[in-house]
Structure 1
Amino acid sequence: DVLKILTVTDEWTRQSLVLRVAASFTSEDVKDALQDIIRVRGAPAFIRSDNGPEFMARDLGIWLQGQNIGTRFIEPGKPWQNGFAESFHSRLREECLNLEVFYSVLHAQVVLESWRTLDNTGRPHSSLGYRTPDEWAREAGGRPAVPMCGQDTAHAAVIPTTG
């Protein structure tokens, strides 16, 4: 069986906001995850994502426009346009996915949520001055007043893993 993981990270704070596991994801699943985040954190200026069908769907685009959230799509075959997510996914794979055998979606969800919490609260990032993402978010006092490239944005992606 193949499992997929919907990841959403905040490029400014480097916080992992969502790691959801399923056999597949639809645009409605992405919308549900983003709604949960927006209720707690407010809306980002834009979402950066790949060109997967769950992100390119017309209904998601209309909903994002209604929320006043822009979109930035990564061009196929150009991972350097997506450095924050590539780095995050590399750590996730190396530190968690490659070390585990998942017996169910629920098992994978529990393991990934534990890893997400540890990454946000216990793992210093060199790009954040060796602070954890949660420490950086507290010290920064929120998002910058004027968004710049890579700031005031969330990144959403679906990465496949084998179950």
Structure 2
Amino acid sequence: MAAKKTVVRTLVESGFAKVSEVCRAIGLQRSSFYWVSQRSPESIELEREVLRLSKDNPRYGYRRITALMRREGHKINSKRVQAIRRRHGLQVRKKQRKSRRVNENEPKRLRASAKNEVWSWDFVYDQTEHGSSFRILSVLDEYTRQCHSLNPRHSYRAEDVIEVLEELIVEHGPPRFIRSDNGPEFIAYKIRDWLKEQGIQTHYITLGSPWEQCYIESFHDKLRDEFLNREIFYSLAEAKILLEGWRKEYNDERIHSSLAYLTPNEFARSVQTPLRATPSTPSVRELIPNLIRNNIFTESTV
């Protein structure tokens, strides 16, 4: 409709034909051409805000955009946001990879129930514009979803991994467990001995079973989709600066549906951290009523 009205307006203003002739030629009712929208200024402003947030976060879906709108104080339904984005062709289409589920007969995997109980770390690869590859060591707190490190280097030795972890322990405190795959940097005797000295227990996933490290795999998927695929790095120094900026934005601004649409830092501040977690530590969903009572978020955002 909008495209046809633009065609009519362009031809009429150029003097090529009359409104009735152009409308008849393209199959548009004259009443439709002269019709003026009766939308309220508030409705127009809401649509502009949805489009602005969608433009700033092109890989966000309508549910997360709705949560951002509500955090800014707008009262809006998720279906309305979906309709606006569909009208402007902003729907995010992403093919989900099939993941193998853990068999019910297999032992239950280690599950984080408190901050600093389980950290997960792994590498993700990328390269500069000139083809120079580098590796990014990412460290994630599985309970709060806080990303503690996104450190890029051309190569990593066991000493380099220990150096990064030492800095994180000074800043955040030591984890109780650290989960990783069986990469050579993580199973090196030097790292295992150092972790033992620090009182940190290692938890290695089964060979060929990345689904056992689902939190860090999900994080890497977001990192790749929302940042790495959209950026061009001209040097390792530039990559380090941009990665650190995205890490801070991820912790401070990116809301998570699994955290009741809080950011990782907001969720970490809203829960108490025992020295050693117990099996009775509440889950995220069990904490929601307490967070509502403490005005961390409103019921409309759940």
TM-score normalised by structure 1 residue count: 0.86
- Name 1:45's counterpart in structure 2: 176
1:73-126 deviation per Cα after TM superposition (whole angstroms, max 9, x unaligned): 122321110110011000000011111111111111111111101100001111
Query: Which of the two has greater strand per residue?
Result: 1
Q: Does 1:32 align with 2:143?
A: no
- Name 2:245's counterpart in structure 1: 114
Question: Residue type matched to 1:34 in 2?
Answer: L
1:18-54 deviation per Cα after TM superposition (whole angstroms, max 9, x unaligned): 0000111111111111111111221101110111111
Cα distance in 2 between the residues matched to 1:46 and 1:28 = 20
Q: Does 1:141 align with 2:265?
A: no
- Name 2:153's counterpart in structure 1: 22
Q: Whose radius of gyration is greater, 1 or 2? A: 2
Q: Does 1:6 align with 2:110?
A: no
Cα distance in 2 between the residues matched to 1:10 and 1:4 = 20
- Name 2:206's counterpart in structure 1: 75
Instruction: Summarize the Cα distance change of 1:54–1:41 in structure 2 as closer, same or farther, 3 Å threshold.
Output: same
Contact 1:46 1:72 in 2 (8 A): yes
Shift in Å, 1:144: 7.4
Contact 1:12 1:143 in 2 (8 A): no
Question: Residue type matched to 2:186 in 1?
Answer: F
Cα distance in 2 between the residues matched to 1:79 and 1:95 = 21
Contact 1:15 1:133 in 2 (8 A): yes
Aligned length: 148
Which structure carries more relative contact order (alpha carbon 8 Å, separation 6+)?
1
Cα distance in 1 between the residues matched to 2:204 and 2:225 = 25
- Name 2:192's counterpart in structure 1: 61
Shift in Å, 1:146: 1.8
Cα distance in 1 between the residues matched to 2:170 and 2:223 = 26
Unaligned runs of 5+ in 2: 1-131, 280-302
Instruction: Summarize the Cα distance change of 1:147–1:79 in structure 2 as closer, same or farther, 3 Å threshold.
Output: farther
Please give the secondary structure, in 1, of the residue aligned with 2:221.
Answer: helix
Identity %: 45
Question: Residue type matched to 1:55 in 2?
Answer: F
Larger CA deviation: 26-35 vs 64-73:
26-35
Please give the secondary structure, in 2, of the residue aligned with 1:18.
Answer: strand
Please give the secondary structure, in 2, of the residue aligned with 1:102.
Answer: coil
- Root-mean-square deviation (CA), in Å? 1.3
Shift in Å, 1:142: 2.7
2:232 to 96, 101, 105: 101
Question: Residue type matched to 1:13 in 2?
Answer: T
- State the 4+ residue runs in structure 1 displaced beyond 6 angstroms: none
Shift in Å, 1:136: 0.4
Shift in Å, 1:143: 5.2
Cα distance in 1 between the residues matched to 2:236 and 2:210 = 28
